Amino acid sequence: MSVDLMRNFVNGEFVDEGRKVTITSPVDGKPVSEVILADKKSTMEAIDSAYEAYYRSWAETTVRERQALLSKLARLVQEKSNEYALMESINTGKTLRQSMLMDIPLGISHIEYFAGTDEFKFSREITHPEYPDTRGIVQNAPMGVVGAIAPWNVPFLMAVWKIAPAVLAGNTIVLKPSHHTPMTALNLAKDIRDTGFPPGVINIVAGTGSEVGNTICTDDRVSMVSFTGSTATGKKVMSMASESLKKVTLELGGKSPNIVLPDADLDHAAKGILFGIFLNSGQLCESGSRLIVHSSVREKLIGRMTEHLKNMKAGNPMDMETEISAITTGDQLKKIGSLVREGESQGARILYQRELGESVPEGGFYFPPTILDNVTDAMTVAKEEIFGPVLAVSEFKSADEAVRIANSSKYGLASGVWTRDMKAAFDIGSRIEAGTVWINEYHMLSAAAPRGGFKKSGTGRELGLEGILEYTQTRHLFINEKESDFDRVAYGLIISDQDQ
């Protein structure tokens, strides 16, 4: 596909400041677009415009006014959903099937959720039990200017998840999509402009972390930073943001387990586990990269999984029949290969690897879906996020052992439990240290459900009411309409009443 030069979106206009680069597709290595990468100057201008827009008018808009704009944005994006899907796949290497049937429709439905939810209330009234003659109002006030930094793996969804709740809560925003995969976010800017959002409310500036990201994290006018990416980079973001005491939410790495109990529906579990790790070639933060299976059903389950893997269609991801995605960057492809080799050197063995051969386009980035066996807790492949199509298998004999293995990771983003026994599922699920626990399911994301991590998988939540509230700060109005007996007692501690 071919698109025009893509520019950054600042104060309601597309700007040329920055460095022009060519975007090549991981599908086949061919150029697909030219993009202006923002520099520090244009990032500062985006922050300027967001700051001015917030104080000029946006903070005073009503929730209903903001939702009306989000609803219109959803309709405009829906009209171009095929265009977005093509752009998302050619830029990231994920299959067109995934973009058309999952990522883009899911993103649109999530905009619609924020456009229609009635869960978010700007304020609520409370009573003060100590002071019966008074009342209180707790307001969810906007943070102000939000800086949002998104990763390269699901750029359209991430743009939606950062923008929609932030502006609904009354903030203005400067979004930095990854410089590797900026195309759908910059395309979204066109629909944001056509929707009629006031200039400066939403700014989108693609660029590197060292220029754009660092500027967002250190500028005093940015009140909050929402970051999604690696744990290592998240620590740097938090450190930079701490200098000006910004609020920070972090959605970071994962090493998510899928626990399979002996009574599980193995046909269903086999498909769900494969979906959990091989969707988007494992390049999802919550990918189910560890299989923890009861020893009594291990062979049967893996047998069914390998049969499905043999039938997964390899080919050009831009073909709707293809089921195996490319790896988005060359550096990530090298990292995956290096970690698998390290796993083998530490005693893991490749139980199955789906050969791709000449079925995938020449010049693209591809790694064969792989299952590693004989994996112990001490191995790197059990501890570190591979972020690729690699599943590490271990066994357990008791539920307590399964929970121990699942919680042995420093991460805690997501997990899955497969069983017909709902009491056991609830018991195990409630003991797993993870922000999301799927039961007989995986990867299904609801806009109404909070998403985020325990431990080194981050802090704060996205989506749902909790995700909206992250973009707010509370203000308490203590209201006393007339002098009370308590006032007389309290004030009398320091002021004598001469009339008495």
pLDDT (0 to 100) of residue 484 = 86
Cα 90 from Cα 183, distance rounded (Å): 9
At a CB cut-off of 8 Å and minimum separation 6, what does 404 contact? none
What is the rounded end-to-end Cα distance, in angstroms, of the chain? 87
Distances (CA, A) of 345 to 116, 340, 355: 53, 9, 21
Could you give the domains of the chain?
Answer: 8-251+470-477 (3.40.605.10), 257-439 (3.40.309.10)
Whole-structure pTM value: 0.96
Other Cβ atoms within 10 Å of 2 Cβ, number: 6
Distance separating alpha carbons of residues 480 and 29, to the nearest angstrom: 68
For 319-335, the pLDDT digits (tens) are 999 999 999 999 999 99
Candidates 328, 315, 285, 356; CA nearest to 88 is 328
Residues 49 and 12: their CA atoms lie apart, in Å, by 9
Over residues 429-441, the pLDDT tens digits come to 999 999 999 999 9
pLDDT at 4: 78
* pLDDT < 50 positions in the chain: none
- The half-sphere exposure of 381 on its side-chain side, counting CA atoms within 13 A, is 32
In Å, how far from its chain's centre is CA 490? Answer: 50
Query: In this structure, are residues 233 and 152 in contact, taking their beta carbons and an 8 Å threshold?
Result: no
Q: Mutual orientation of helices 183-195 and 81-92 as an angle, nearest 10°?
A: 160
The pLDDT score that the predictor gives to residue 486 is 87
Q: Is the dihedral of CA 67, 191, 36, 97 positive or negative?
A: positive
Catalytic residues, which ones? Answer: 251, 285
User: What residue type is assigned to position 163 of the chain?
Assistant: I
Q: How far are the Cα atoms of 33, 106, 193, 261, 323 from residue 89, in angstroms, in the given order?
A: 13, 15, 24, 36, 12
At residue 498, the pLDDT reads: 58
Helices (H) and strands (E) in the chain, counts: 17, 22
* Distance of alpha carbon 174 from alpha carbon 246, whole angstroms: 15
CA 228, 229, 230, 232 dihedral sign is negative
Give dist(CA 205, CA 172) in Å, integer: 14
CA–CA distance, 492 with 500 (Å, rounded to integer): 11
